[in-house]
A and B are shown apart, each in its own frame.
Chain A
Amino acid sequence: MKLVQSSLQQVVAVAGVAMLVALPNLANAQQRVVPAQSEIAFVSKQFGVPVGGKFKKFDAEVTFDPKKVEAAKVNFNVDLLSADIGNSETEAELKKPGWFNSQKMPQANFTSTAVKAIGGGKFEFSGKLSIKGISQNVVVPVTLTQSAGVTRAVGSFTLKRLDFKIGDGEWNDVSLVANEVVVNIKLALTGVPPL
């Protein structure tokens, strides 16, 4: 009995030590987004007029080591209900089924499928962008810079709103509301290993 107890203690001790060793690695594996210093903005053209806004709520799970990009993973969620256009009428319109249908489908998601380093702190994040239950492959070029332990990721890509049935029906006239929507991403991340 004493022998059993002792070996049990040993197992617990070994497990404990193993966890202590493993924890820093776990902490390294997950990078954190600093929301206050991050921004997801978008702009499209309405009759030639640039109209855009920001998403106030988003979160991301990022596993990223610039030296091991093949293991990188990004899972990004944006709360479409949090769109801030600066104009209540347009925001109310955007929530409607023809646009984001965000009361029913509030989440837009980007899940990376492959990350490629192209040098000079530049990376290409390929993945699936899902909005309104429609998934499309997108490639997001991102430039990383690091200072004082914070990694800033700046990227931009253009999506076609009609590919996601955003602005369906009476709004599908792209001469009135352009099909192209430019999404501008600025993220501040902590815990990213050096470039």
Chain B
Amino acid sequence: MSPRYDRVAILFHWLMAVMITASFAVGLYMVSLTMSPTRIKLYNWHKWAGVTILTLAAARLLWRLKHTPPPLPPTMPKWQTSAANVAHVMLYILFFAVPLTGWAYSSAAGFPIVWFGWIPLPDFVPKDRELAEFLKPWHWMAAYALAAVVALHILAVVKHLLMDDDNLMSRMLPNMTGDKK
């Protein structure tokens, strides 16, 4: 069995996987709604989740810099390991880009973020109607880019599972047997 990711990395991975999927789904749904109390609640939950993801991304990046992930199987062709590395760099960039563009858009639109309705976050861009219109598609594009890279990531997992049969996914699965890595 190939070496595993450490427990903290596994926790970060699945926590963010769930939160990003949920935020993306809520984001897609909420923009389809007309103005209503439900819509406002969803927008706020989406923003709270986004800031949480941003925080997790920062913590995860720091962890990752100190904890080198297990090497990819030597059986993998060079282009595939390169593609995997590029995809992971893209994921990390987008972990920051998606929430930050959303935060900036929210501030520009005149809705500062109050995290969990409790911690007011600073506006790092001014309230400005034109800036808001400019930022809106960037948040949207970053989110779709993240969805696209995640889709590639999952396709690669499926390929390793079905075609390569190298059990690569087990490196990131929680250790259910309770054995030490």
- Name A's B-contacting residues (CB within 8 A): 46-53, 85-90, 92-93, 170-171, 173, 176-177
Q: How far is B110's CA from A88's CA once the two chains are assembled, in angstroms?
A: 11
Q: Which of A50, A53, A90, A173 has a CB less than 8 Å from the CB of B112?
A: A50
User: In angstroms, how far is the closest chain B Cβ from the Cβ of A114?
Assistant: 36
Among A50, A53, A92, find the residue whose CB has the most chain B CB atoms closer than 10 A.
A50
Instruction: Name which of A48, A85, A92 has the most chain B CB atoms within 10 A of its CB.
Output: A48
C-beta contact mask, B118-148 vs A, less than 8 Å → 1, else 0? 1010000001110010000000000000000
Complex CA–CA separation, A85 to B111 (angstroms): 10
Q: Which of B37, B44, B110 has a CB less than 8 Å from the CB of A173?
A: B37
Residues of B within 8 A of A88 (CB): 129
Q: Name the CB-closest residue of B to A49.
A: B114
Q: Are A48 and B118 in contact (CB under 8 A)?
A: yes
With A87-B109, A176-B41 given, is the CB distance from A47 to B127 under 8 Å? no
Task: Say how far A152's CB is from chain B's closest CB, in angstroms.
Answer: 24
Beyond A93-B35, A171-B37, whether A49 also contacts B128 by CB under 8 A is no
Interface contact A176-B37, CB-CB below 8 Å: yes
Q: Does B8 contact A (CB under 8 A)?
A: no
- B117 within 8 A of partner (CB): yes
Q: Is the CB of A87 within 8 A of B129?
A: yes
Interface flag for B94 (CB, 8 Å): no
Chain B residue numbers with a CB within 8 Å of A85 are: 110
Complex CA gap A20/B89 in Å reads: 82
User: Which of B40, B113, B120, B132 is the one whose CB lies under 8 Å from A87?
Assistant: B132
B177 close to chain A: CB less than 8 A = no
Bound complex: CA A52 to CA B109 (Å)? 11
- Cα-based distance from A165 to B40 in the complex (angstroms): 20
When C-beta atoms are compared, the residue in chain A nearest to B118 turns out to be A48
| Chain B binding surface SS class | loop
Do A49 and B35 contact each other (CB < 8 Å), given the known contacts A86-B128, A87-B132? no
B36 within 8 A of A: yes
Task: Say yes or no: A46-B110 contact (C-beta < 8 A), given A86-B129, A86-B132, A89-B35.
Answer: no
Complex CA gap A92/B44 in Å reads 20
Interface 1/0s, chain B 94-114, versus A by CB < 8 A? 000000000000000111111
Residue of B36, B40, B113, B127 with most chain A CB atoms under a 10 A cut-off? B40
Say how far B130's CB is from chain A's closest CB, in angstroms.
10
Complex: how many Å from CA A51 to CA B118?
15
Q: What are 27 A-to-B residue pairs whose CB atoms are below 8 Å? A: A47-B40, A47-B44, A47-B114, A47-B117, A48-B114, A49-B44, A49-B112, A49-B113, A49-B117, A50-B120, A52-B110, A53-B110, A85-B110, A86-B109, A86-B129, A87-B109, A87-B110, A87-B111, A87-B132, A88-B129, A89-B35, A90-B35, A93-B35, A170-B36, A171-B37, A173-B37, A177-B40
Given contact pairs A47-B41, A50-B112, A87-B129, enumerate 4 new A-B contacts (beta carbons under 8 Å).
A47-B40, A48-B117, A49-B114, A90-B110
In angstroms, how far is the closest chain A Cβ from the Cβ of B135? 13
